[in-house]
């Protein structure tokens, strides 16, 4: 049974629900005190004896051949200990490897660390310096002489696919459904998902809406810039301290780039100041290693500036998206087409594949086609960003759906219920759903006090939208040590970005029927446990939580077995209930048993998991906006998110994920964009000009946790981190339409873009005005 609960009141629940003792409660996170007192060590906080400081020199051009680099003046500056360029990197092979975040061409990976023959975006790293302090490193970098031959930049889908477009990558050939092209191209790949009969579906349609949309490049915007410290010891052993979503992903990438065996590199994850997908790719880590080796095996710390973060890391793709949907007279979708053109940045690998899966996922559609195009342009190599690719396409689909519902005279929530995907329906690529909660999220919004309330006033409007994210399982490794005082040390390698130490420890405590405070969760390095995938794909509480559950089961079973020996009873005769072991006339509380069972032999457990049956997440959201007709500024008056969370382990952190995803989605929808000049220079690489939402820009974000337990997880967990960012742009665009009569066909719906659209609408003949027909 699905359950919903309205939250966001700030009240702290005393107990969990559904018979759970720990799950569903809201304890303080284990790393909390360090983080509110300033003691927690993030990447830039690493200090050690003899530490040198690095600085990276970056290309001032968006597209240029590098003829030569002269580092002699930099090397001669007092205080400089090493200068490196691409010449210090091993020659990278043109081969594809999976390094924990999907397949990647190693040559591209290496070229992005330090440009080899070509600079492919404004901000592309070309050289780096290590010196005794960061100021000298920067002065030295400015003495490096790079001879560039500037080339015309290719900034958008349309530029890149033009017949006479300059080519970014000489060796790139289009991969079209597995067939490799013969001509040079900026189109890296094309794919198509297809089912049913598209033409017949559109021919049968009572009504068809066909629109094209544009979205701009946006950045993840984590507040902690990338930073890494590396020590390349004289014996060849290497340690990297870095802020990353995946210490093993860092190990894999760095070892491939530098051609060293994994046994020589230990990655120690520091606390991480936000990631959102952007702290999976390595940037400064290999550079710090090269500098440390060249600087006589002294440790080197490289910290990015905010301008460098914006210019050279992240971002996620800008895109052109066409969506065409037909419906019958009852409002059932008869056919749907989506064409997705995604800008990958300088190297192939936009999230267009994931976007295709998101595109029409909330709907049950028999006749469907989704085409995806991955296109290189002179922008930074795109990285994952929370539900990668999803927001772009959901903005388009949800705008078309809203327009269809309006023209049909249907309530937009009812349209989504009527067409909603459910168990056994299929995603665009054919994957069949198990039990999902899409329709439940629509109903939760439809029935909410917010949706049922009236919204009055000129230039005010309400909009809703739905979204999907696949979530992920991935591989996790963890160990648990039973201490003789009845506490358990939980060693896991999933870096904790949003309270996962707590949500994982809670599952171990629940599985062992002990108090949350008895579990000591810690994030360990790559030498301590086995392989562990990134904290990403909304997988950590699901998969590492599953490993923790397994650890708890193992420890309790072993304790029972040992007590059976002690008490001289059969192995199956010992029971464990309410924290007490008993058999025959014997009984022993957990804390005492923990000591007793370890008198002869210590006890620890290990678990490795790779669950395949992860449950997808859906969200439906409702927003009220007010538009200032003089300035075009949008005020968010009220926002409610309903999300299928499976089972909320720590409801406060689940709400936090939902609220955070919505806030990022609002920024994407109404403010955030990369702005380039005609020569491909990024003009807004600061947090003043790349403007993310502040506390003053947002209302409280009301959360409705819909709990449709995921059948393949012992506690019903679904990933909760990502789907929340998928609907906001569509919901806001629909609300803006209801406020102004303008359907926006591009993001961001910034004051300038909205005013322009409102003025254009006023200039239209009255009979063409939407909503009046």
Partner 1 sequence: MAKKMAVETTLNGEETVFLCEPRQTLLEALRDNLGLIGSKEGCGNGNCGACNVILDGVLVNSCLVLAPEIEGRSVVTIEGIAEDGELHPLQQKFLEHASLQCGICTPGFIVSAKSLLDDNPEPSEHDVRLWLAGNLCRCTGYDKIVRAVLDVAESDA
Sites of contact with partner 1 (CB under 8 A): 8, 10, 12, 26, 28-29, 31-33, 35-42, 44-45, 47, 78-79, 132-133, 135-136, 220-225, 271-276, 303, 305-306, 497-499, 650, 652-653, 655-657, 659-660, 662-664, 686-688, 692-698, 700-701
3-state DSSP assignment of residue 337: strand
Residue 438: phi and psi, rounded to 5, are -60, -55
Q: 187 vs 735, which CB is nearer to partner 1? A: 735
Q: 373 vs 653, which CB is nearer to partner 1? A: 653
Q: Residue 10 CB, nearest distance to partner 1 (Å)?
A: 4
3-state DSSP assignment of residue 702: strand
Q: Residue 297 CB, nearest distance to partner 1 (Å)?
A: 22
Q: 220 vs 253, which CB is nearer to partner 1? A: 220
Q: Residue 305 CB, nearest distance to partner 1 (Å)?
A: 6
169, 171, 177, 182: CA torsion to nearest 10: 120
Q: 420 vs 537, which CB is nearer to partner 1? A: 537
Q: Residue 498 CB, nearest distance to partner 1 (Å)?
A: 4
Q: 470 vs 535, which CB is nearer to partner 1? A: 535
> Closest Cα partner for 91 from 291, 258, 249, 232?
258
3-state DSSP assignment of residue 624: strand
Q: Residue 55 CB, nearest distance to partner 1 (Å)?
A: 13
For every residue of 240-301, DSSP letters joined together read EEE--S-HHHHHHHHHHHHT--GGGEEEEE-B-S--TTSSSS-SHHHHHHHHHHHTTS--EE
Rounded to whole angstroms, the Cα distance separating 224 from 243 reads: 9
Q: Residue 670 CB, nearest distance to partner 1 (Å)?
A: 14
Q: 279 vs 381, which CB is nearer to partner 1? A: 279
Q: Residue 42 CB, nearest distance to partner 1 (Å)?
A: 6
Q: 688 vs 768, which CB is nearer to partner 1? A: 688
Q: Residue 471 CB, nearest distance to partner 1 (Å)?
A: 18
Q: Residue 298 CB, nearest distance to partner 1 (Å)?
A: 16
Name the packing angle between helices 651-670 and 390-408 (round to 10°). Answer: 80
Q: Residue 38 CB, nearest distance to partner 1 (Å)?
A: 2
CA angle 109–544–22, rounded 5-degree value: 150
Q: Residue 685 CB, nearest distance to partner 1 (Å)?
A: 11
Q: 148 vs 516, which CB is nearer to partner 1? A: 516
Q: Residue 563 CB, nearest distance to partner 1 (Å)?
A: 37
Q: 185 vs 270, which CB is nearer to partner 1? A: 270
Sign of the CA dihedral with 581 first, then 583, 588, and 593 last: negative
Q: 330 vs 694, which CB is nearer to partner 1? A: 694
Rounded to whole angstroms, the Cα distance separating 354 from 370 reads: 12
Q: 71 vs 500, which CB is nearer to partner 1? A: 500
The 238-242 sheet, strands edge to edge: 80-85, 125-131, 52-58, 300-303, 227-232, 238-242, 265-269
Dig out the tokens for 120 from the structure: 């492919």
Q: Residue 274 CB, nearest distance to partner 1 (Å)?
A: 4
Residue 441 burial class via C-beta count within 10 angstroms: exposed 0-12, middle 13-18, buried 19 and up: buried
Beta bridge partners of 145: 70
Q: 132 vs 455, which CB is nearer to partner 1? A: 132
Instruction: State the residue for tokens 């015309």.
Output: 152
Q: How far is CA 149 from CA 30, 68, 121, 428, in A?
A: 53, 10, 13, 44
95: left (phi over 0), alpha (psi -120 to 50) or beta: beta
Q: Residue 139 CB, nearest distance to partner 1 (Å)?
A: 10
Q: 13 vs 760, which CB is nearer to partner 1? A: 13
Rounded to whole angstroms, the Cα distance separating 225 from 202 reads: 49
Q: Residue 30 CB, nearest distance to partner 1 (Å)?
A: 11
Q: Residue 45 CB, nearest distance to partner 1 (Å)?
A: 4
Dig out the tokens for 289 from the structure: 């290693």
Residue 553 burial class via C-beta count within 10 angstroms: exposed 0-12, middle 13-18, buried 19 and up: middle
Q: How far is CA 20 from CA 24, 99, 214, 507, 583, in A?
A: 7, 38, 47, 10, 24
> Closest Cα partner for 441 from 469, 460, 461, 479?
469
Q: Residue 327 CB, nearest distance to partner 1 (Å)?
A: 34
Q: 244 vs 607, which CB is nearer to partner 1? A: 244
Rounded to whole angstroms, the Cα distance separating 378 from 346 reads: 5
3-state helix, strand, coil in the chain (%, to 5): 30, 25, 45
> Closest Cα partner for 177 from 394, 390, 353, 393?
353
Q: 13 vs 769, which CB is nearer to partner 1? A: 13
Q: Residue 103 CB, nearest distance to partner 1 (Å)?
A: 28
Sign of the CA dihedral with 733 first, then 737, 743, and 748 last: negative
Q: Are 511 and 470 in contact (CB under 8 A)?
A: no
Q: Are 190 and 246 in contact (CB under 8 A)?
A: no
Q: Report which secondary-structure segment, H or E, holds 402.
A: helix 390-408
Rounded to whole angstroms, the Cα distance separating 523 from 654 reads: 20
Q: 598 vs 684, which CB is nearer to partner 1? A: 684
Q: How far is CA 385 from CA 86, 392, 511, 648, 769, in A?
A: 28, 11, 33, 23, 36
């Amino acid at each position: 049974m699905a359950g919903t609960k309205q939250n966001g009141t700030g009240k702290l629940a005393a107990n969990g629900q559904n018979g759970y003792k720990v799950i569903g409660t809201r304890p303080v996170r284990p790393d909390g005190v360090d983080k509110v007192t300033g003691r927690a060590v993030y990447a830039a906080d690493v200090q050690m004896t003899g530490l040198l400081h690095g600085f990276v020199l970056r290309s001032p051009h968006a597209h240029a051949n590098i003829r030569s680099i002269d580092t002699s003046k930099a090397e001669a500056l007092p205080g400089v200990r090493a200068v490196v360029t691409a010449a210090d990197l091993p020659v990278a092979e043109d081969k594809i490897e999976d390094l924990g975040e999907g397949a990647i061409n190693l040559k591209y990976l290496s070229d992005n660390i330090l440009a080899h023959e070509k600079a492919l975006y404004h901000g592309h790293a070309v050289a780096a310096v290590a010196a005794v302090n960061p100021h000298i490193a920067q002065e030295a970098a400015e003495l490096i002489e790079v001879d560039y031959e500037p080339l015309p930049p290719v900034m958008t889908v349309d530029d890149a696919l033009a017949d006479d477009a300059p080519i970014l990558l000489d060796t790139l050939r289009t991969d079209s459904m597995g067939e490799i092209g013969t001509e040079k191209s900026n189109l890296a790949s094309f794919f198509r998902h297809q089912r049913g009969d598209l033409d017949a579906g559109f021919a049968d349609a009572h009504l068809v809406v066909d629109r094209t949309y544009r979205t701009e490049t946006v950045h993840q915007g984590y507040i902690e810039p990338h930073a890494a410290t590396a020590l390349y010891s004289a014996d060849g052993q290497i340690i990297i301290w870095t802020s990353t979503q995946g210490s093993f992903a860092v190990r894999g990438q760095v070892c491939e780039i530098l051609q060293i065996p994994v046994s020589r590199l230990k990655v120690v994850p520091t606390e991480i100041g936000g990631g959102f997908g952007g702290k999976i790719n390595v940037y400064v880590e290999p550079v710090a290693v090269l500098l440390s080796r060249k600087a006589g095996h002294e440790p080197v710390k490289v910290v990015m500036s905010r301008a460098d973060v914006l210019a050279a890391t992240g971002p996620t793709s800008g895109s052109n998206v066409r969506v065409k949907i037909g419906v019958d007279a009852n409002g059932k979708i008869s056919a749907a087409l989506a064409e997705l053109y995604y800008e990958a940045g300088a190297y192939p690998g936009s999230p267009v594949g994931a976007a295709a899966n998101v595109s029409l996922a909330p709907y049950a559609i028999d006749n469907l086609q989704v085409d995806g195009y991955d296109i290189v342009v002179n922008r930074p190599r795109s990285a994952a960003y929370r539900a990668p690719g999803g927001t772009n396409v959901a903005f388009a689909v949800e705008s078309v759906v809203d327009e269809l519902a309006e023209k049909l005279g249907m309530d937009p929530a009812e349209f989504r219920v009527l067409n909603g995907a459910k168990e056994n329906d299929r995603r665009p690529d054919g994957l069949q759903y198990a039990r999902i909660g899409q329709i439940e999220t629509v109903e939760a919004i439809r029935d909410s006090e917010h949706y049922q309330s009236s919204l009055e006033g000129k230039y005010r409007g309400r909009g809703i939208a739905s979204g999907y994210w696949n979530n992920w399982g991935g591989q996790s490794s963890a160990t648990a040590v039973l201490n003789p005082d009845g506490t358990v040390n939980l060693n896991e390698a999933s870096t904790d970005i949003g309270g996962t130490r707590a949500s994982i420890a809670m599952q171990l405590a629940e599985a062992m029927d002990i108090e949350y405070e008895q579990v000591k969760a810690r994030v360990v390095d790559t030498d301590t446990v086995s392989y562990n995938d990134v904290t990403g794909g909304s997988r950590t509480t699901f998969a590492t939580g599953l490993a923790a559950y397994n650890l708890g089961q193992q420890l309790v079973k072993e304790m029972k077995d040992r007590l059976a020996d002690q008490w001289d009873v059969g192995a199956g005769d010992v029971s464990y209930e309410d924290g007490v072991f008993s058999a025959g006339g014997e009984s022993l509380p957990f804390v005492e048993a923990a000591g007793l069972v370890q008198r002869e032999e210590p006890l620890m457990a290990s678990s490795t998991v790779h669950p395949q049956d992860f449950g997808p997440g859906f969200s439906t959201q409702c927003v009220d906006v007010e538009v200032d007709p003089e300035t075009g500024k949008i005020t968010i008056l009220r926002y409610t998110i309903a999300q299928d969370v499976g089972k909320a382990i720590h409801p406060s952190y689940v709400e936090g994920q939902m609220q955070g995803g919505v806030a990022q989605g609002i920024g994407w929808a109404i403010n955030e964009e990369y702005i380039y000049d005609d020569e491909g220079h990024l003009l807004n690489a600061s947090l003043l000009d790349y403007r993310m939402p502040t506390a003053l820009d947002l209302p409280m974000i009301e959360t409705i946790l819909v709990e449709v337990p995921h059948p393949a997880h012992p506690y019903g967990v679904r990933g909760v981190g990502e789907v929340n960012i998928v609907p906001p742009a569509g919901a806001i665009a629909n609300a803006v339409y209801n406020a102004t009569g303008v359907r926006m066909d591009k993001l961001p719906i910034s004051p300038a873009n909205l005013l322009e659209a409102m003025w254009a609408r006023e200039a239209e003949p009255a009979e063409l005005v939407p909503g009046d027909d």
